[in-house]
Structure 1
């Protein structure tokens, strides 16, 4: 009888007790030292080295609070307790989790490269109009704008096809990403981004070609299963006064034991942008728009019109729609499949940088706009966790992308309209895995393959319009027009294999080694050429490159990190480099069918330190980069010294081609600080300096921004926060510009003397009225300062009042 009673008591106790495992939601590593506070019993238990802890479950409403200094606090009801509890890491200090460097989750203290992490909380506080605006507030990153509907990020003096954009493990860069300024970063909605990571410096081992200046990796909402049916929805609305912005967004998260889903749809409409009125730089008329074109695709005006308010930048408004849908489905305990669909489409986007050009005393162009920019992505990602094979941990991603672009222009008082259309289909396969070589995880082997194929179709048409008064009736005749890229079609393919090895030599030292072999193949065909006769109508360029990196980390103390990275990167010429025909700022770019890859060698060193129980965090990163055989625009006479193109005549030095140069260098550094001055009061600050010149010509390199800084001081409470922001940039002198290439838009500076210095102050606040309702108010550029970001055609926004509301249910 006694045995039966003991057995009954043990069964009863076990029915109210459960062993759970606490793990990192990103790395899937078990977390030791988690405090699990039982609110009902007022008792605390600590997870062991295996991340396991026993909890007592007396009823479904029991409440448990999970706490750890490196993770976000989590409260869970007894009815929701599962075998595994996922904790999200805090995005501060050396314990931050990085997803992009090794293409799998790793602790920041094990990675030698400099990384900036943009969290969902930071995105919500910033409330950017586009993802390009989100990047503009990141330490070490500048963003150039030729028009309001765009944003070209600059990292370590490199941009466009030297900076790699990635979304959910799929590279966005394609065969027509150009040298100069690129506006594709806005095709990922900030409302769909859960986090973004910026990796500085060449990351060619994991990402291959294009990752010279760095990698910007967007991660959309991650999906997790739940023990019972879960659903959460949110609606969002925002209005901005500076451009009459109207933005609405809706998101929905649902999950169960056997599936998880996330949906997001957002729509933004922007009117013409207002610049600042306070001209502290001393140039009274710089940037003002006194005349503009009223021409549209169905309205004709032979001359420009007067702008009654020169501070309004006419022809800058546009609208954009973004849709995201993700599903996560389990195959078994070790394998999940994530299906990902993304769609982004804009309206016509006026090219403000072209529409303010002048010719013969009037505006040069009646029309110059980008047709709807459209990006479609469909991917299937299979994720492996503790799988018993070479595919132990990692993922296989199969993706398809379709990108549509177009450019339409017509000169003032002309009936000839030229339209150029680009369609790119991209097929890719990525396999990224790691294997633990020791049980304690001190030795890891990473490996993977990447296959990418780009198919580019470029077409053009010339139309002479039929006009009656101010109305365009249709087309009266057609004429031949050159395509932007080879009209016979072009392809660009790459195949790569890589491996890297990470070993914790001891508690203080870590070694990282990596190597990648990449082969690229470009084929292009020209059929009909109007302005330029290509001698060889068919070309084939094949290149092979071996790249690698060596990284070493020393941690003299737990809160210190010293890192050194030596790496080699490369970029193979793409279709844009080889075959583009384009005019800008009075210069014409022509093809170069003999272009070779450019190579990069980089040495960087970094130091991170946490003080006063992590209340003060300091970091400094410096680098020196050597570019060899680098590609830059230079004068070309291959197709003659006089060329007629789109109604303009280009002669001698005005005819350029992408050409392999000798050697050049870029060096610089970023200093950052985060401080918790008092309870709830935090300060962030960063300063970035960049310099670059050519060794052979001693000419400054393009895309080198002047020294700039970001800073913020915030009061953060559970119900509300108030943040004061400060941004500044020093001047860039005329002597620091590359005059030959013309990439940095010197003609957009006052009297072509260089970019003046500027500084602005902003204030933002968030108030959580309830757990479901949140309000946000921002006052940007409080003193209504007029300025332009370096290299930009458009003046930055003036004083802007932003109001937003978010409701979840």
Structure 2
């Protein structure tokens, strides 16, 4: 509630009624005070904003002179000041902004808004993922991108994978509607570490191809997301070769001024037929608090763009599709009345987050984090579009319901000792279920593969404040993965076109070791950071990691009769050296030397997978791959310190890089060709993950973030990547040479609008990986009679899209947002994706906070 009261009573000093006038004026003032004082009592909410960007500030500390009264701003930058007296001096403090102290009565004259001025550059915001303890950007040498609460709200992503596109230097690959595999510096899947609330999402069956695990986190439950670029194995261990994506979910606040609050979001997207509803509920009391988020999304078939500026008129069109379901049988493909509609891309997603926080004493708190996610069947579109012998191959190819359950208690304590100023112990249990269901046309045999993974983990992270500006963090980590893999075939029992039952199951080859497998890691690390002087900071870290893998195959459905049991163990020492130099308030220079490694997991060593006439089989002799990285960054602050231009360049040398290669099954006699094998009645070329030798990845990112005029901000980034395997000068997978984006934001009062542009360069067919990870066969066909794929397919055409969005805050609690993506309805595909991107997509979202 906002109001303005203005009145004036002027009496001449020599008037003989001046005394009566003064008395009347006093009564009038008293009347207004008594009339409006109830409103002041019930409307004492203030909003704190960034003076430069006019954006709400979250987590601003507000307190009186002796700090006997205090509160903080919520995710909307709001706080209730009713506990403070009207004439009391109140201080507003937030890291990276000038501290402000004013009398409470003044904020009424400011229209219920207090503006804080940035005192340092945006790089000075606190990030959590670089050291797990919270550190300012000016002391961190690695490149880090932060997607704040405001960025998530403004983007309104459909999934948490889609959110990552907003971070400069990241792109996302998709093979189906329910997809989303982030790629960082040319590294993808199990070479990028996903973390949620301090718990690793990467497990023993994270594959080297494309993943969709990022969609098991609702973006509506996120408070922020941080991306650390480059090898980060000192803090996070194996898998973080390309970088770390750390999702932080919303956390309840103890002793908030509002004991109960909540919010509701509803969104509709036209080109993807998306309907999403999300509900937040938060309870806050003196010693404990609770937060709940429930989200449900339903996605329909994706309509691709109609404007084919790339010149390939038939590329991606869906002329035939399968309408087979769990209950319906059709022996033939169906003609699609609208080839621009990608039949078989819809799915449902349900997510729940429940958090409790309890304050045990003034130094100790206990948290409990419970997460559950489940999808419907997710049709794998690129496999359903696969042709063989002139017609569609698969009547069904679904990922079964993808389920993820996590329960994680966390103890935080602050003993205040020199060698242990604070610490966090995080235990976690995860249960993950994945499955694959497929059936060929003109076949009544349905094959199912089911994977169950249980992951137990324990992390202990500690922080020591040795001396002023000298910090030490250290910790230990333990994880244990138990993988059970089952596979069976069932014949359908039909009644006309209806499936009325199934014949008894017959065992077939499992995807992973059929007698079970385990993957265990143990690690210890230490990280030291010191400000050498006011202009420079030095960082160093070292980590030791041990891994052990056990796998066993039974005698049923073996592909390679030589396999029985496999046990491998590996260990590695990785390190980081970083240096930050700030010669003046206008410049910052960063330099990093780091190493990382990835120990082969169950998917690398023990997978059996058929696709497109090739069969990937186990290779128990696989060794770890290592990365050695050097990078430099330079940042220039333009005028106001929130305006920056930065350039980061890196070179990563890979040793024993893992990739697919031809593999001969010793002793196989199913065919005369040693490079093929009969599998499920088909002759397939055999491949396996192997150590391909040494390779390199080189690249850089250019970023600009500047305020053009007041309320108008421009952001842009350009990323370049190149990589080859030295042996034979062969291409590495997942390398897209050029991509980037530009964004123009205008924010004033209740309006938040933006214009955004994304683009991608082309990639020539000879630069696609030889192992098939890049999906050259998904690019336009130019010569069906050619023998070699590099002559048959055109490679990836370049593309660009334009979008716009506008949000209007009807009140402090109600927000309406309209967006239009791909305004010109361009047809395009992201690199290595087996599905075309949505065409012109109109989105509308409404959010209410209470």
Question: What's the TM-score once normalised by structure 2's chain length?
Answer: 0.85
Change in 2 beyond 3 A, CA 1:458/1:88: farther
SS at match of 2:752: strand
| Contact 2:560 2:665 (C-alpha < 8 Å) held by counterparts | no
Q: CA deviation at 1:89?
A: 9.5
Q: For 1:182-193, what aligned pairs fall within 5 Å after superposition?
A: 182-193=211-222
| Contact 2:277 2:296 (C-alpha < 8 Å) held by counterparts | yes
| Contact 1:91 1:117 (C-alpha < 8 Å) held by counterparts | no
Is 1:745 equivalent to 2:783 in the alignment?
no
Q: 1:714 aligns with which of 727, 745, 761?
A: 745
Q: 2:761 aligns with which of 720, 725, 730?
A: 730
Is 1:70 equivalent to 2:113 in the alignment?
no
Q: CA deviation at 1:386?
A: 4.4
Change in 2 beyond 3 A, CA 1:395/1:413: same
Q: 2:677 aligns with which of 625, 643, 657?
A: 643
Q: 1:274 aligns with which of 277, 300, 303?
A: 303
SS at match of 1:123: helix
Q: 1:603 aligns with which of 626, 630, 633?
A: 630
Which residue of the partner structure matches residue 52 of structure 1?
A: none
Which residue of the partner structure matches residue 782 of structure 1?
A: 823
CA–CA distance in structure 2, aligned partners of residues 77 and 737 of structure 1: 65
1:584-631 C-alpha deviation (Å, 9 max, x unpaired): 222110000111111110001111221202252111111000000111
Change in 2 beyond 3 A, CA 1:373/1:383: same
CA–CA distance in structure 2, aligned partners of residues 764 and 64 of structure 1: 37
CA–CA distance in structure 1, aligned partners of residues 264 and 597 of structure 2: 44
Which residue of the partner structure matches residue 700 of structure 2?
A: 669
| Contact 1:57 1:78 (C-alpha < 8 Å) held by counterparts | no
* TM-align CA RMSD: 2.5
Q: CA deviation at 1:389?
A: 6.9
SS at match of 1:756: coil
| Contact 1:91 1:119 (C-alpha < 8 Å) held by counterparts | no
SS at match of 2:157: coil
Q: CA deviation at 1:392?
A: 2.2
Which residue of the partner structure matches residue 376 of structure 1?
A: 405
Which residue of the partner structure matches residue 30 of structure 2?
A: none
Out of 463-472 and 690-699, give the one that drifted further: 463-472
Q: CA deviation at 1:60?
A: 6.6
1:677-734 C-alpha deviation (Å, 9 max, x unpaired): 0000000000000000011120110000130011100111231111000000011111
Q: For 1:164-203, what aligned pairs fall within 5 Å after superposition?
A: 164-203=193-232
Which residue of the partner structure matches residue 18 of structure 1?
A: none
Which residue of the partner structure matches residue 342 of structure 1?
A: 371
| Contact 1:531 1:644 (C-alpha < 8 Å) held by counterparts | no
| Contact 1:174 1:426 (C-alpha < 8 Å) held by counterparts | yes
| Contact 1:228 1:256 (C-alpha < 8 Å) held by counterparts | no
1:320-376 C-alpha deviation (Å, 9 max, x unpaired): 000001111111111111110001100000000100001111100000000000101
Which residue of the partner structure matches residue 18 of structure 2?
A: none
SS at match of 1:135: helix
Which residue of the partner structure matches residue 705 of structure 1?
A: 736
Is 1:385 equivalent to 2:426 in the alignment?
no
Is 1:499 equivalent to 2:540 in the alignment?
no
Is 1:688 equivalent to 2:719 in the alignment?
yes
Is 1:754 equivalent to 2:801 in the alignment?
no
| Contact 1:247 1:266 (C-alpha < 8 Å) held by counterparts | yes
SS at match of 1:225: coil
CA–CA distance in structure 2, aligned partners of residues 198 and 490 of structure 1: 31
1:743-781 C-alpha deviation (Å, 9 max, x unpaired): 111111001210100000000111000011110000110
SS at match of 1:754: coil
Change in 2 beyond 3 A, CA 1:281/1:420: same
Q: 2:245 aligns with which of 216, 227, 232?
A: 216
Which residue of the partner structure matches residue 528 of structure 1?
A: 555
Q: 2:290 aligns with which of 257, 261, 264?
A: 261
Q: 1:594 aligns with which of 609, 621, 629?
A: 621
Compare CA radii of gyration and give the structure with the larger one: 2
SS at match of 1:186: helix
Change in 2 beyond 3 A, CA 1:285/1:209: same
Q: For 1:443-482, what aligned pairs fall within 5 Å after superposition?
A: 443-482=470-509
Consecutive unaligned residues in structure 2, runs of 5 or more: 1-47, 49-59, 66-80, 106-115, 669-673, 782-792
CA–CA distance in structure 2, aligned partners of residues 219 and 90 of structure 1: 26
Change in 2 beyond 3 A, CA 1:271/1:166: same
SS at match of 1:377: strand
CA–CA distance in structure 2, aligned partners of residues 676 and 501 of structure 1: 35
CA–CA distance in structure 2, aligned partners of residues 418 and 591 of structure 1: 20
Consecutive unaligned residues in structure 1, runs of 5 or more: 1-21, 23-33, 40-54, 80-86
Which residue of the partner structure matches residue 539 of structure 1?
A: 566
CA–CA distance in structure 1, aligned partners of residues 618 and 547 of structure 2: 19
SS at match of 1:750: coil
Q: For 1:754-773, what aligned pairs fall within 5 Å after superposition?
A: 754-773=795-814
Change in 2 beyond 3 A, CA 1:777/1:73: farther
The total of aligned residue pairs comes to 751
Q: 2:264 aligns with which of 208, 232, 235?
A: 235
SS at match of 2:123: coil
Change in 2 beyond 3 A, CA 1:35/1:201: closer
Change in 2 beyond 3 A, CA 1:88/1:131: farther
Which residue of the partner structure matches residue 459 of structure 2?
A: 430
Which residue of the partner structure matches residue 844 of structure 2?
A: 803
CA–CA distance in structure 1, aligned partners of residues 582 and 376 of structure 2: 51
Change in 2 beyond 3 A, CA 1:339/1:58: closer
SS at match of 2:154: helix
Q: 1:135 aligns with which of 156, 164, 172?
A: 164
Q: CA deviation at 1:187?
A: 0.6
SS at match of 2:234: helix
Q: CA deviation at 1:520?
A: 0.2
Q: For 1:24-43, what aligned pairs fall within 5 Å after superposition?
A: none
| Contact 2:717 2:742 (C-alpha < 8 Å) held by counterparts | yes
SS at match of 1:437: strand
Which residue of the partner structure matches residue 148 of structure 2?
A: 119
CA–CA distance in structure 2, aligned partners of residues 647 and 275 of structure 1: 35
Change in 2 beyond 3 A, CA 1:92/1:802: farther
CA–CA distance in structure 1, aligned partners of residues 83 and 237 of structure 2: 51
SS at match of 1:94: helix
1:382-409 C-alpha deviation (Å, 9 max, x unpaired): 1123433744213110000000000000
Question: What's the TM-score once normalised by structure 1's chain length?
Answer: 0.89
1:547-585 C-alpha deviation (Å, 9 max, x unpaired): 111111111013422111111110000000000000122
CA–CA distance in structure 2, aligned partners of residues 204 and 409 of structure 1: 38
CA–CA distance in structure 2, aligned partners of residues 98 and 604 of structure 1: 20
SS at match of 1:562: strand
Q: For 1:248-397, what aligned pairs fall within 5 Å after superposition?
A: 248-388=277-417, 390-397=419-426
CA–CA distance in structure 1, aligned partners of residues 643 and 844 of structure 2: 32
SS at match of 2:207: coil
CA–CA distance in structure 2, aligned partners of residues 58 and 350 of structure 1: 57
Is 1:154 equivalent to 2:183 in the alignment?
yes
Q: CA deviation at 1:74?
A: 9.6
Change in 2 beyond 3 A, CA 1:89/1:466: farther
